[in-house]
Structure 1
Amino acid sequence: MGRSSRRRGRAGAARRALVVLSAFLLAWVAGAPPAAASWSEGRWINSGENARTPSSPSYTTDGTTQWRLVRGDDNGLWISRNNGPASRMNINSGPAGATYVAPAIIATQGRLYAFHTGTDRQVYYSFSVRGNDSGWWTDWRALPGFADTNMAPTVSVLDTLGSNVGVFITRTNGHVAGVRMDVSLDSYPRFPTAWGEVAYGVFRSRPDVTSRFNPVNGRTEIVAVATGSDGHVWSVFSDGTLGGGIGYAPIFFGDLAETIRTSHGPQRLPGAAAAGECTFAPSIARGGRDDRLSNDTSSADFRNQQGLAIGCISSNDGNLWVTRSSDGGRNVTGWSSTSDGAGPSNTTPELHGQGDAVYAALSWDGGQDRRFPDHAIIEKRL
């Protein structure tokens, strides 16, 4: 959504969210159920203006600036800042310079890191060489080891400083895999461990992953969702007691592969079949900034990061359905269709955080709804 659009009503929404989440934290300490969230849903707008993408767009924010990375209709990578004009990223020949699926981007440690799946089933990365200046990038480099995926990658920070990034994929065998990327150095990042692969569960979509700090156990945790072979949304990693929320896995910083291997699951998210069946991959996002996790339970950053949403395109009506959480995913609402015309798309939706809210973005299906052009980048606050 455009920056000017996001400012409207933010002050009131922020005050309401602050009251609700403060009450939740008090109830959490007392062992009572969390308070219900107060959601302020917006209207669909064409935030990409003339930009077009056949895949879901990818967003990231460091708390002040937002960047958007998309696959263009030319299969190249295009980046824009604060919904401004898009520019083509570094152009390389061969499989490293093009993609047939959505890319991923994250801001952390004062840099931007971009990822995409090449036409050779390998995952490539590049980072900005002048801090968060999106106009200067390194050449594409392949992540170590053969990714063996034809789906989009997804990324998330793994710690409170944002010095470790997890890159996750679904391989051609249907198993989820991940690798840890140490970005604390001034030079190229290190990859301390090889790809770790989930030995259980077969998924027909890429996973979407976010992270959270759990003050109950003092651990940072990864939360991931994907579409299972039955078409339903599943929690990829789990502590084994899903209940009414989303499963998670505490992070072992020394070895992300160990985190993946030792987690339980997968477990199917609760919800009616009418909403819980996804045509494409689901998307998950929390509020707040992407470049770090807050472990200060009294801070606005921590409260913002507790707001979480999952979205998917329903197999039944082709529209966006969402389930939400105000406590970092420990409890979720039922699936519900978004308002203002549910938002048709013929690809995966994209959810991303900005301040105290979560936004949904789509590559619009102009064949189903002619309010916007086909492949236009459409966005709304959830």
Structure 2
Amino acid sequence: MDNNIWFRYNGGTWRPLGGDESSRTTSPPRILEWPQGRAIVFVRGMDGEIWYTQANSGSANFCPGGPPLGRHPPHALLSSDANDLNGDGQIAVYGTERFERVLRSFWTGADNHVYSVTRTANGTVTNISEVNGGGVCRSGISAARLGTQTTVVTPGQPGYEAQQRVMIACRGNDGTIWETTSSDGGRTFDGWRRPAGTPAPSHSAPSIIPTPTSWTLTLRWNATASSAWPDNSIIAKRIN
């Protein structure tokens, strides 16, 4: 456990990100493919700021990391105020309050409460507010909606109701995973709860993998809190 970021490509050998061991982080890296064929890796550095690096055409030829990204007042979208960087906290959905497609981002604030920001397609911020329900998280937030993942549909189109169903999840004060769901595109939620079954203690924030009809909640098991699974096992649960 050296806090370095290690990777391998196409079954090759493991090596440190960037060719050296200076890419250290206190939370899991977030990897995005954007644009197609280029991987961008975001990490929270040991200084609490967010750093990134890129790989082109899957070659793992990483460019030097960029400068730290700034904070988003009054609460940090990606900074040391968030206890983890994991999962995907942003969704694209039809915003019924604006009658247009919007982006909703969810994050853990400096007070450990959960907040959301809504942006229009041109980047205009239309709302920043605390998510209802009083959730308190000790990790970053993961978010996902049901329905097709390739486009946002509008009212009256097939799959609209499914896309309005949104789940967000985090690691709570007790170290276990909590989740809450929405049926109005992430505007309001129905109350925080643990997934059904055995409480799920996790070392990190969960990730949520959506399909058209269900979510798969994935976490890294903490055996110190429960011996149901070996420590650091990747455990998944499907939720409809």
Q: Residue 313 and residue 100 in structure 1: after superposition, are their counterparts in 2 closer, same or farther (change >3 A)?
A: closer
Look at both structures and tell me which one has the larger radius of gyration over its CA atoms: 1
State the Cα RMSD in Å: 3.6
2:119 to 224, 243, 249: 249
Q: Map of 1:34-183 to 2, 5 A cutoff?
A: 75-78=4-7, 88=14, 91-95=18-22, 97-107=23-33, 110-111=36-37, 113-117=39-43, 118-119=45-46, 121-129=49-57, 136-143=59-66, 145-147=67-69, 175-176=75-76
State how far apart, in whole Å, the 1-side matches of 2:148 and 2:18 are: 29
Provide the C-alpha distance between the structure 2 equivalents of 1:216 and 1:269, rounded to a whole number of angstroms.
Answer: 16
Match of 1:212 among 93, 96, 100: 93
Measure the CA separation in 2 of the matches of 1:219 and 1:285.
19
User: What is the identity, as a one-letter code, of the residue corresponding to 1:146?
Assistant: P
8 Å contact 2:112–2:138 — kept in the other structure? yes
| Alignment match, 2:144 | 285
Amino acid at match of 2:142: S
* Contact persistence 1:77–1:98 (CA under 8 A): no
Q: Do the aligned residues in 2 keep the contact of 1:213 with 1:221 (CA within 8 Å)?
A: yes
1:122, distance to aligned residue in structure 2 (A): 4.9
How many angstroms does 1:338 deviate by?
Answer: 0.8
Q: C-alpha distance in 2, partners of 1:374/1:76? A: 20
In 1, distance between residues paired with 2:175 and 2:12? Answer: 28
Shift of 1:363: 1.4
Q: Is the 8 A contact 1:308 1:358 kept in 2?
A: no
Aligned length: 232
By how many angstroms is 1:307 displaced? 2.5
Question: How many Å apart are 1:147 and its aligned residue?
Answer: 2.0
**CA-to-aligned-CA distance 1:238-275 (integer Å, 9 cap, x gap):** xxxxxxxxxx23232xxx4xx3xx4443x22222x5xx
Aligned to 1:363: 220
Match of 1:336 in 2: 193
Partners of 2:230 and 2:192 lie apart in 1 by 27
Contact 2:132 2:188 in 1 (8 A): no
- Structure 2 runs not aligned, ≥5 long: none
Q: Secondary structure, in 3 states, of the residue corresponding to 1:221?
A: strand
SS in structure 1 at match of 2:163 = helix
Amino acid of the structure 1 residue aligned with 2:61: T
For structure 1, the 5+ residue unaligned runs are: 1-71, 131-135, 149-169, 179-196, 238-247
* Greater RCO, CA 8 A, separation 6+: 1
SS at match of 2:140: coil
Contact 1:285 1:351 in 2 (8 A): yes
1:154-203 deviation digits (Å, cap 9, x = unpaired): xxxxxxxxxxxxxxxx57x874368xxxxxxxxxxxxxxxxxx9xxxx95
SS at match of 1:139: coil
Instruction: Give identity over the alignment, percent.
Output: 22
The aligned amino acid for 1:104 is R
TM-score scaled by structure 2? 0.75
TM-score (norm 1): 0.51
1:312 matches 2:170: yes
| 8 Å contact kept, 2:84–2:205 | no
Over 3 Å counting, the alpha-carbon distance change for 1:98 and 1:232 in structure 2 is: closer
**Residue 209 (structure 1) shift:** 2.3
Distance in 1, Cα, partners of 2:184 & 2:38? 28
- 2:77 and 2:107 in contact (8 A); partners too: no
Counterpart amino acid of residue 76 in structure 1: I
